[in-house]
Amino acid sequence: MCELLAMSANVPTDVRFSFSALAQRGGATGVHTDGWGISFYEHKGCRTIHDPNPSAQSELARFIRAYPIKSLMVIAHVRKANRGKTSLENTHPFTRELWGNAWSFAHNGQLKGIKKRKLGHYLPIGTTDSEHAFCWLLDELRALYPRRPSDSKLARTVSDLFADLRELGVFNALLSDGRSLYASCSTKLCYVERKAPFGQASLIDEDMEVDFAKETTPDDRVIILASTPLTRNETWTPVPPDTTLVIRKGERVSAAPK
């Protein structure tokens, strides 16, 4: 199974600390050796990097861990392949355009019968269940709303579509347009909220510690989501199974069992 990572913040924030832990799970502390990827949002732009090599040994991953890219929204993924060969086109996160925005998607799990669902405007480039599900999701949204709906209506619709996909199997997933982060939990997903008063955090997968009080202001808010906790001295909250979580600017907007 793959592992997921996402960050939502109210000010541009460096994700290198959390990504360092995730990268170690791609061949050092974990078995997710079939590629990795990360998407950073900058205003309406989306910078996405993919590598089909294990993240723990990847030169590109070392570059990301050293380069201080700051973002309000990040989605990352390390892959353990079960459907689709190890290749660049099968590496998450996948990205497409809808309503003039770049959408990113990453998934952990298997979806039985997803490829029987017909697609229209959006077509997969690779062969994974995940990319087919992403294309189906965007097709549904495009058909329902020729123009972007309100945030509340969009959140309800995405929650309904996520619930539909969870009926097909394991659908732990992250979806974002750079503004909102939509997270689906079938089996495992958790999050940590970082806000004032900030403290220290130590990674589980690597000997690294950060004192966030020295790196932040009192108004900063950040939520980190991951498949399993990344730090040993913070309180990680499990997302209940069969739940869609909506996060915006480092705050939970809603959590809806569907």
Cα gap 200→197, rounded to integer Å = 10
DSSP 96: E
Active site (catalytic) residues: 2
**In this structure, are residues 69 and 54 in contact, taking their beta carbons and an 8 Å threshold?**
no
What is the C-alpha separation between 129 and 83, in angstroms, rounded? 7
Q: What is the Cα–Cα distance from 106 to 92, expressed in whole angstroms?
A: 5
Long-range pairs for 207-214: beta carbons < 8 A, 24 or more residues apart: 208/17, 208/20, 208/21, 210/17
Contacts of 213 (CB under 8 A, 6+ apart): 197, 198, 199, 200
Per-residue b/e over 60-98, b at no fewer than 16 CB within 10 Å?
bbeebbeeebebbbbbbbbbbbeebeeeeebbbbbbbeb
Select from 49, 60, 57 the least CA-distant residue to 26: 57
Within 8 A by CB and 6+ apart from 192, the residues are: 223, 224, 229, 231, 234, 235, 236, 237
Any residues with CB less than 8 A from the CB of 62 and at least 6 apart, and which? none
